Amino acid sequence: MHDNFFGGEPYGGRIVVLNYGKVEWMMVYYGWVEEGVNPDIVYGILREALMQMPEEHPYRGPEEFKKGNLTYRNKWEGEVDRYLGEEVILQEEKTVYKANYLGGLVDKRRGV
């Protein structure tokens, strides 16, 4: 697996999973913290949420993760072969972080 992360603030990246040197699956992601919000606090809970990634839906974190006055929420459509989603972090009821992602299986049929 390769995770190529680019950023600071905002940030982006891609994850590529290889099997015997052949790319099988990938995901791209892009996110940001709202201006005026301490990114260290936001990315702290984000890292904790990502450690709780559901095995059956390996796209970022769980549907919900709470710590103190911060709530991480993740919503997606599709399955591991083709999906897209959005994650947010709320402080109280205010959105302080958002990221979008999409991905799926690659190179499964003949093409260009």
101 found inside a domain: yes
46 found inside a domain: yes
| Structural domain span for residue 60 | 2-105
Where is pLDDT greater, at 91 or 59? 91
97 found inside a domain: yes
> Cα dihedral sign for 14, 30, 96, 93?
negative
Give the per-residue pLDDT at 110: 73
Position 72 pLDDT exceeds 80: yes
110 found inside a domain: no
Q: Output the pTM of the full model.
A: 0.89
111 found inside a domain: no
Residues 2-61 have pLDDT tens digits of 999 998 899 999 999 999 999 999 999 999 999 999 999 999 999 999 999 999 888 899
Supply angle C-alpha 52, 16, 96, rounded to 5.
Answer: 45
91 found inside a domain: yes
- What is the number of structural domains in the chain? 1
89 found inside a domain: yes
pLDDT band at 112 (very low <50, low <70, confident <90, very high): low
Position 75 pLDDT exceeds 90: yes
